[in-house]
């Protein structure tokens, strides 16, 4: 048995190796280890710490998963105040600010001040405190003087070092930066929330803010936040950088991720040139940016310029113009989703925004509808939140027609006329009638989707026909359809009907975890479905699982377990599962299923990265197809990447692939790659 000293040395060695590997992977985009090697070292450290709790330290990578849920957040005082920045909205306002700064510094009118330009990340500001090189506290900005202490949550952000990569760190270091959610991650989060019947986040910034204030760090870890550092504060007696440019390099050397798109600029004209270039290029970035932060480079001159009561005189945010447009409200409609959630949607006269024509925007829920105080015929201001999602920003009541009626969600379901319900503590209003045609149509669309049972040829229009004619009253009825009946329907010929019957037959071969996901159970996304199916390899086993059994699974919390138990105990659902079993649907794991062959699939051993917007597949669909063929999808490009699958508006990942000589393919070439390999087998 190893001595205590040997155990301490080994634990320290493992922490150093794992932290270095995490920095290489998440910050430098240059993985040092294979995943299997990292996992083995991680497990060794975890076992050491479990067996010997005295070895546990704050900088251990095992602490990134977060501890138990917090009961709340405490308010903490910032060592150095977190002031806001003044804003400029055009070149003229920037020129005026530059002139004021020159007069404050007593520069000659001809003097060209040296600035550092950085992209302004649309996220949430954080203050990170390190003692002797170890992260000891993380806090939100709050009111600038005090913020909320969220250390457990920030520990889950892989781009935040738990220990500074400095041989002799100062006694204390305060680092400021921006936490954010990349666009691709945001889309995946909203897709999962939609599958679970939860309200969607309006934009990545709101999603990030909501995530940072989660009481359960495990939820934060699952959402994969990112972080860019931009400011460092050091003790007065410490030898530190002399300029903002040097400060960014110092942060990089300490192990932080710093935005690579930064530039020194001479005078206001140099700043405007940087701004103009990135106003055009920003749409290619994988994250949201809403402007450029301009800082006087020399720290000594920053001190000379000083501060106003609210902001530094030596820095300013040059914001991109928000693209907004007025429009006239035509109507308010209520949409019923597959989980029964009723969502108010505003339909208005079409307006051009961010390169597209927009005529509809979700209002999310009854609370938002009430907040807007929307009336019939109102003039509204519309924008694209994060330049992605249409959003009703505000109402212009001064233009309201005389006698206009206030708009509210209906009290009864627009599809089945059942009384709508809003449970205490929930934002969503729901139809709870399981026979509601809208819920059934949604459930069927989800059942046949690619990530679920992948039934080709059963689109939304055909589903509407089947439900509206009473031919399908449950999921099980799909498997009772015959070709002759289908051929008699609108736009369905004999061949199409025959193909659909074959596709339904093929779906009987999908693995158990796909069927579990396809059921559309509240809170059960594709990842959770795989976890549950692995732990309970049959419907019988899952039905017999206790809430305690479910909660013991990694990633399965009380919300999910309660939802699962409730669904399993409902007699209508039990009857559905009995019907599916009688129809030979896969209610148990089958090691010989088609997807069980992924270990020897067309892309076995291949690592792929997705970037940009693909013409036909969503990110989730493309990932599922790659994984089904045995491949692995990662979020960053390295020398070990085999292929980068690029769509339109591909950003920095495409540039890095070209720099590293990684093969770049499009969606069609990806499909061809899989098909060719399959044909050769």
For 419-441, write each residue's pLDDT tens digit. Answer: 888 866 677 888 877 678 888 98
pLDDT at 679 over 80: no
Q: Are 156 and 122 in contact (CB under 8 A)?
A: no
pLDDT of residue 592: 41
Give the pLDDT confidence score for residue 612 in this predicted structure. 83
Tell me what the mean pLDDT of segment 118-141 comes to: 93
pLDDT reported for residue 542? 92
CA distances to 152, 355, 537, 641 from 34, in Å: 27, 42, 29, 12
Phi-psi region of 66 (alpha: psi -120 to 50; beta: other; left: phi over 0): left
Q: Is the pLDDT of residue 301 over 60?
A: yes
- Give φ, ψ of 560 to 5 degrees: -65, -45
pLDDT above 80 for 369: yes
pLDDT value of residue 366: 87
Of 19 and 40, the one with more pLDDT:
19
Which residue carries 């020398």 as its tokens?
639
pLDDT of residue 680 exceeding 60, the answer is no
Is the separation of the CB atoms in 336 and 413 below 8 Å? yes
Confidence check: pLDDT of 396 > 50? yes
Average pLDDT over residues 357-384: 90
CA triplet 561, 566, 568: central angle to 5 degrees?
Answer: 95
CA distance 65 to 384: 34
Summarize pLDDT for 578-628 with one digit per residue, the tens. Answer: 999 999 998 998 644 434 434 456 787 788 888 888 887 877 678 777 877
Above 70 in pLDDT, residue 31?
no
Q: What is the pLDDT of residue 34?
A: 62
| Structure confidence at residue 66 (pLDDT) | 46
* Model pTM above 0.85: no
pLDDT range class, residue 676, cuts 50, 70, 90? low
When the pLDDT of each residue in the chain is averaged and rounded to a whole number, the result is: 85
Contacts of 411 (CB under 8 A, 6+ apart): 419, 420
| Res 250 pLDDT > 50 | yes
Q: Are 644 and 611 in contact (CB under 8 A)?
A: yes
Above 70 in pLDDT, residue 240?
A: yes
Query: pLDDT tier at 656 (50, 70, 90 boundaries)?
Result: confident
Q: Which helix (H) or strand (E) holds 622?
A: helix 619-628
Q: How far apart (Å, rounded) are the C-alpha atoms in residues 227 and 320? A: 21
- Could you tell me how many residues make up the chain? 681
pLDDT at 19 over 50: yes
Residue 39 has pLDDT above 70, yes or no: no
Cα separation, 62 vs 397, in Å, equals 54
What is the pLDDT at residue 598? 41
Q: Is 218 a catalytic residue?
A: no
Residue 80's pLDDT band (cuts 50, 70, 90): confident
Per annotation, catalytic residue among 120, 295, 653, 656: 120
First to last CA, the chain: 50
Secondary structure letter of residue 420 according to DSSP: P
132 pLDDT more than 60? yes
CA–chain centroid gap for 87, Å, is 28
* pLDDT for the residue numbered 427: 78
DSSP letters for 505-526: HHHTTS-HHHHHHHT--TT--H
């Amino acid at each position: 048995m190893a001595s205590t000293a040997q155990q301490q040395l080994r634990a320290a060695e493992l922490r150093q190796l794992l932290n270095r590997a995490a920095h290489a992977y998440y910050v430098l985009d240059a993985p040092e280890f294979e995943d299997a090697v990292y996992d083995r070292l991680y497990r060794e450290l975890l076992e050491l710490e479990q067996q010997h709790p005295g070895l546990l330290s704050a900088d251990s990578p095992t602490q990134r998963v977060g501890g138990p849920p917090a009961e709340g957040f405490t308010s903490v005082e910032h060592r150095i105040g977190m002031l806001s920045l003044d804003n400029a909205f055009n070149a003229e306002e920037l020129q005026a600010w530059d002139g004021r700064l020159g007069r404050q510094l007593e520069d000659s009118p001809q003097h060209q001040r040296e600035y550092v330009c950085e992209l302004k990340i649309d996220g949430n500001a954080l203050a990170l405190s390190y003692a002797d090189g170890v992260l000891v506290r993380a806090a939100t900005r709050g009111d600038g003087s005090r913020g909320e202490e969220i250390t457990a949550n920030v520990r889950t952000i892989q781009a935040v070092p738990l220990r500074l990569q400095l041989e002799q760190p100062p006694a204390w270091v305060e680092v400021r930066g921006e936490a954010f959610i990349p666009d691709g991650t945001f889309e995946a989060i909203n897709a999962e929330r939609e599958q679970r019947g939860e309200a969607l986040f309006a934009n990545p910034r709101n999603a990030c803010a909501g995530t940072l204030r989660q009481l359960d760090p495990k939820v934060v870890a699952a959402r994969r936040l990112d972080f860019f550092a931009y400011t460092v504060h050091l003790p007065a007696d410490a030898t530190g950088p002399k300029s903002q440019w040097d400060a960014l390099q110092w942060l990089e050397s300490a192990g932080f991720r710093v935005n690579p798109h930064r530039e020194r600029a001479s005078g206001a004209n140099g700043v405007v040139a940087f701004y103009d270039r990135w106003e055009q290029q920003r749409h290619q970035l994988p994250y949201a940016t809403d402007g450029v932060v301009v800082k006087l480079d020399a720290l000594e001159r920053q001190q000379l310029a000083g501060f106003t009561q609210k902001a530094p005189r030596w820095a300013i945010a040059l914001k991109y113009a928000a693209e907004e447009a007025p429009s006239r409200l035509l109507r308010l409609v209520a949409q019923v989703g597959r989980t029964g959630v009723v969502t108010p949607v505003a339909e208005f006269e079409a307006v051009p925004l961010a390169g597209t024509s927009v005529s509809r925007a979700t209002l999310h829920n009854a609370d938002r509808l009430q907040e807007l105080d929307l009336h019939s015929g109102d003039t509204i201001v519309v924008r694209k939140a994060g330049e992605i999602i249409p959003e009703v920003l505000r109402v212009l009541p001064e233009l309201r027609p005389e006698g206009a009626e206030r708009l509210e969600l209906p009290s009864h379901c627009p599809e089945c006329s059942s009384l709508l319900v809003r449970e205490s503590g929930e934002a969503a209003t729901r139809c709870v009638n399981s026979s509601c045609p809208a819920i059934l149509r949604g459930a069927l669309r989800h059942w046949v989707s690619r990530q679920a049972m992948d039934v080709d040829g059963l689109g939304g229009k055909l589903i509407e026909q089947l439900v509206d004619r009473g031919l399908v009253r449950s999921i099980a009825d799909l498997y009772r359809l015959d070709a002759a009946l289908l051929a008699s329907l609108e736009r369905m010929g004999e061949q199409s009907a025959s193909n659909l019957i074959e596709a339904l037959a093929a779906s009987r071969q999908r693995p158990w975890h796909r069927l579990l996901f396809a059921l559309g159970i509240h809170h059960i996304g594709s990842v959770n479905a795989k976890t549950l199916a692995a732990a309970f390899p049959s419907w019988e086993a899952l039905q017999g699982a206790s809430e305690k059994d479910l909660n013991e699974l990694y990633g399965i919390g009380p919300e999910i377990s309660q939802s699962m138990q409730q669904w399993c105990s409902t007699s209508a659902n039990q009857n559905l599962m009995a019907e599916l079993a009688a129809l030979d649907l896969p209610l148990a794991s089958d090691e010989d299923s088609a997807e069980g062959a992924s270990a020897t699939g067309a892309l076995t051993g291949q690592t792929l990265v997705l970037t940009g917007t693909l013409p036909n597949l969503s990110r989730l669909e493309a990932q599922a197809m790659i994984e089904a063929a045995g491949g692995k999808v990662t979020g960053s490009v390295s020398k070990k990447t085999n292929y980068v699958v690029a769509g339109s508006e591909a950003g920095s990942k495409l540039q890095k692939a070209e720099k590293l000589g990684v093969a770049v393919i499009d969606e069609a070439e990806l499909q061809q790659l899989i098909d060719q390999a399959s044909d050769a087998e």
